[in-house]
Structure 1
Amino acid sequence: MIYDFLKGKSSEWLESKLLRKLKTESHFNYAPVFNATWNKIKVSNSFYYHEEDECINYMFAYKNKYATEHWGHLPRFHIAECEVRQQYSNYVFASQMPVGIYCTDKRVNIGQHKLELCSKCNKEITLFSFGSPDKEWFDVILDIASKKHKKYVPSEISRTGYTKDWGQVSYARRAQEDFTCEGCKIQLLHDDAYYLEVHHKNRKKEDNRKKNLKVLCIECHSEVDDLHRKNYSQGDNALKLSSFKNRFRN
């Protein structure tokens, strides 16, 4: 119970209300951006990004309306102003996959799809040492955030001490592990992904290199060391941890 003077349903109601507030405010409760138009997009070193308040999202350009029957494939997505992207118009932007596609041949929505990276953008990636060009969207996000080459969107530090792209970066890192804790191996999908966190191994919140980011459920995260045990024994963290244990450990 949260307060001694509250019992039964009163305590449960208050706890539920506090948890909803925590989830809304948490940087692990990522709100992706879809169907953004050019007027919402900024370009830095040829890469796209969307910035609002304390949040930066790296963006993919793609055509959400496409003649899939005529071309025989889904549209490609772009991460930079490559020569193909510059030849055509009517692009929209998203911060993650999958994205919705409308088939202009049949005039029907054909569902959500993970698109392949444009071949010209592939060359851009290889040229600037991103490693293998055949990457999932989350691999691309983490490569950009890791600042592995000079063409990256500057990640300023927010008031929380995390980088402004942390919401997207942490979501991408969790997606990379299929939303599975690297400690106890519990998989937390959809709304339950809120209980899956990302730990900076060296305690430097601005170091978002993949090798420094470990995906952990809140319980495993709370047991990393004495400092984490202390931090998760009080306040909002303790409430979230208690909620997780009640749902998944009892």
Structure 2
Amino acid sequence: MKLDVDFSLLEQAVVTMGAETVEIQLDDEIIPIEPIDKQLDEGIEVNFEDIDFVTGLASYQGRQVLLYIKDHSYGNKFHSALQEGAKGNKFHIADCKTLEKMRRNGRFDRYVVTNKVDGIFKISGHDKRTNEQIEGEANLNVCQDCLENINYKKFASLSKGSARREFVDQFSLADFFDTYSSFFKFMPSGLAEKLTSGYTKDWDQISRNIREKYNYQCQQCGLDLNFNKSLLHVHHVNGVKSDNREDNLRSLCCDCHRKQPNHNHMFVSHEQTQQINHLRQEQGITTKESWKSVYELADPGMHGVIDLLERYQVHFPEVGEELQDERGRVVAKLELAWPLRKVGVAVDKADAVAAAKLGWKVYSMRHALIQIDELVPRLR
């Protein structure tokens, strides 16, 4: 809905007061924060059946979440968890064999779902001395079964033991939510609040100057965005938003920008990702000379699938393939595709359904990972 508001009286008042007029332009798309997003930041107690795993990732009412059991009374883990989070209940980010076992055993514990990014969880327990319920906060660990099931950052390839424990110790929820941001319409409120911080007052003009200097082209993938300028960002190489030295600024498309190190404040929607893929196809920027180039072009949420495909040495996929019907209309967009074999991987269920009507076999990220032994023979 377009809003038509006259701010002329407000602007006149600003001038009268002698205040400085500041223009603000943010590189990231601002996603509205709804009441449920604030509630999820605090944590919501829900029934296990209400949590959705259709993509393989845990979600609640269309939001990417993690889930954990707040009550640490069982096994007297409460005080141990307060002192060392690794001794507490693990939190889950995806469907895994631990949750599947609970389903089989008919254990439908009430979980807390949240999308906090600081890794600090509210837990409770029973104090035997006072016979009361007590609460505290603990830095819980992520479930390793979840990490393996989605092959997050090639976790499945790590040998069990110290390598995996080190990975868990360094696990960042902000990085995790950022990796799969295009799978979901909304971002965690904890990340959204970071979008407006750190920029200088003259950032709008500085950003425009950099884009114009490089003729609205991405300095990394070479994409020309003269007719899609909103998809072109300006990146601070050292991560300091107030450091606007020219040698610290790079003109990057939103996809290349989100893939820069330590960019867990980014949010790129699925629609933006597909638009970038479309433009790359139009401009011929989809040549895959190595698996490295496949990683660079693909949605980060597909990297777990790509890692397995690389290890099985299948043919390189097309990235961002668009399927057309008999009238030449685009009816489906696939993240990864092998056109000669009519096999693909899609994020959006509607794309998968439309592709199936054209005779394609399309996997979700979840099914590509758990049915890899079925998928690979189709690609050889």
Q: TM-score, normalised by structure 1?
A: 0.49
Instruction: Pick 1 or 2: higher relative contact order, CA cutoff 8 A, min separation 6.
Output: 1
Larger radius of gyration: 2
Q: TM-score, normalised by structure 2?
A: 0.34
